[in-house]
Chains A and B, each alone.
Chain A
Amino acid sequence: MLSIQPTTPGLPASAAKETAPLRCAAGIAILPRVGSTLTWAHRWDHVLARCAVNRTGHRVEPGLYALHEPDASSPVFVTANYSLSFDALRSALDGIDGYILVLDTQGINVWCAAGKGTFGTQELVTRIEATALKQVVDHRRLILPQLGAPGVAAHEVKRRSGFAVEYGPVRAADLPAYLVDHLATPEMRQVTFHLRDRLLLIPVEGVHVLLPLVLFAVVLFLLGGWLPASAAVSAILAGVVLFPILLPWLPAHDFSGKGFILGAMVALPFALAAVLLPGLLAGTAKEAVLRTAGNTGVPWGRLALGGLSYVLAMPPVTAFLALNFTGSTPFTSRSGVRREIFTYIPIMAWMFGAGVVLIAALAAIQILGG
């Protein structure tokens, strides 16, 4: 009736051997048992997941698990088969006996999977059947994470499986407090996006831009030296590192606007350097400003255009990365992001294009000995 799982593939070995499998009273099911302890192996798995290494490979085998020492009346918690989700749940339930029903979300976290529908009504109903949950527990209640709700219709689950869905708090860490009276406070129901949450996202964002970052840096270094190369690196790092950190404090109402402002702030020193450095390098610092043109033989106009090229090319890069960060935040709506794309993408494209054309023109003049 139930597929017996003496071992738990997808789980680090240390978790599987934490305690022996649970033999249910009815004698029909042998459930893998897990505890609340996170070993270094689990933590290393979390680090890799946070760095987007093998992005969807951090999986737990879907199915029913025994948590500590449950009996037929113990609560059933539902989660995704992403190791970070599963581990957050079981580690939060230290000292609480229960069952964990792991849905097959293909290694994706609860909220994203709910948005896609894989953490959904159909999968939940199917998994209840496949694990013979009705024979394991004598009640008909399930506790789901609140953020699973976009994929699950509670009344449909009740109608199709007989199990009543109860939405617990957003964060697993709030479960012990929630379980006291099964009431969630408004704080438990709200998503947050604190500095810590934002910092945790930086590695994943960084990994995605690593290749273009190295590519741009090398090409620009070969074409124009270290100043344009470091400008490219700075514009990209501003978008993926500084932007998530500074998000709440940047002025402007939307992500692209905030990104443009941050990108402009980062571009200004480079623009100044482009105008003044030739003089600084040719003469003394003190007289650099006055003597720039005279010392280098480069006309002022061309130096100013060089500075302008940084102001044009850098902010759109940062703003584009900022716009892409919308998908990582817990509060942007699709309508809002769509409007942002239509408003800002043309501006980004024109500015960046103009900057690139300017850089190319100036480089051509220099090469041709203008």
Chain B
Amino acid sequence: MRDRTALNTLQYDPALCIGCGICIAVCPHEVFAWNSRAVRLDRREACMECGACQVNCPTDAIAVDSGVGCASAMIRAALTRTKQDT
């Protein structure tokens, strides 16, 4: 189950990190880890783009094109030509 490939839009700028650690707390897949005073990307490939880290990062050090990885919702959006509302 963990063998999904590393395609995701997660981007992290360590220069902006203030080391509050909230990204480590909110990530459900242990993508971030402590690296002395700042945070480092540890398991980028495990990111599911839920967006929790980006939303909670107080310094905008994290960017991710978040959304729900749900095929039926995307297919429905494509078929009805509507913008996906996730």
Contact = CB atoms under 8 A, between A and B. Distances in A.
Interface of A: 112, 114-116, 146-147, 149-155, 167, 170, 184, 186, 189-191, 193, 247-248, 253-255, 323-324, 326-327, 329-341, 345
Main secondary structure of the interface of B (DSSP, over half): loop
26 contacts: A115-B51, A115-B68, A116-B86, A151-B55, A154-B22, A167-B26, A189-B25, A248-B1, A253-B4, A324-B71, A329-B69, A330-B48, A331-B29, A331-B46, A331-B69, A332-B48, A332-B69, A333-B8, A333-B49, A333-B69, A335-B7, A337-B69, A337-B70, A337-B74, A340-B71, A341-B71
Contact of B7 (A167, A170, A324, A336): A336
Interface of B: 1-5, 7-9, 22, 24-30, 46-52, 55-56, 58, 65-75, 78, 85-86
Contact of A149 (B55, B67, B71, B78): B55
Given A333-B8, A335-B7, A326 B56 contact: no
Nearest to B22: A154
Nearest to A183: B25
Main secondary structure of the interface of A (DSSP, over half): helix
A152 B55 contact: yes
Nearest to A112: B68
B51 A150 contact: yes
A167 B47 contact: no
A255 B28 CA distance: 20
B1 A335 contact: no
A336 B8 contact: yes
